[in-house]
Amino acid sequence: MPNETELSRFKQKLLLRDRPLRKAGLIRWLLPEIDAALQNGYTIVEFHTALSQAGIKLHYKLLSAYIRAARAEKKKQSAVLSPPLPTSREQATPAPQPAPERAAEKLDPLRNFYDMESKMTAFKYTPPTLADKDKLI
């Protein structure tokens, strides 16, 4: 069962003058103590009661929503601060180097168009020229 020193430490922190003014900020500020106490057997209901006794009026659903949001924000910040480690497959496979002939292809923006045009098998219309007028009836 949880001991009373953790809850009393939580209550003392609530009474400090330099605590955050907004309720969501207060929950973010208290999140390490809340998580530690929850792991030691306390419930959110007990935190809700302690907040009420300290004069902070907050509905239970809103308190649990603030805790959930603070945890998500903490998780998001830790994900941003630490980039993901490469997997063993990424470490074993070196990055492919472009072939010299492929580098030249990348410089020609119409290369794809020319390749497709040369592979066309359908009917290709060529407009008549002046030389073609003699061939007409």
Cα–Cα dist 49/57, whole Å: 10
109-131 residue pLDDT tens: 788 778 877 887 777 777 777 77
Taking the mean position of all CA atoms in its chain, how far away is CA 111?
37
Q: What is the pLDDT of residue 106?
A: 61
For residues 3 and 38, the answer to whether their CB atoms sit within 8 Å is no
41-93 residue pLDDT tens: 888 888 888 888 888 888 899 988 999 998 898 888 877 666 666 666 555 56
Using CA atoms, how far residue 127 sits from 20, 46, 91, in Å, is 78, 86, 57
Cα–Cα dist 65/59, whole Å: 10
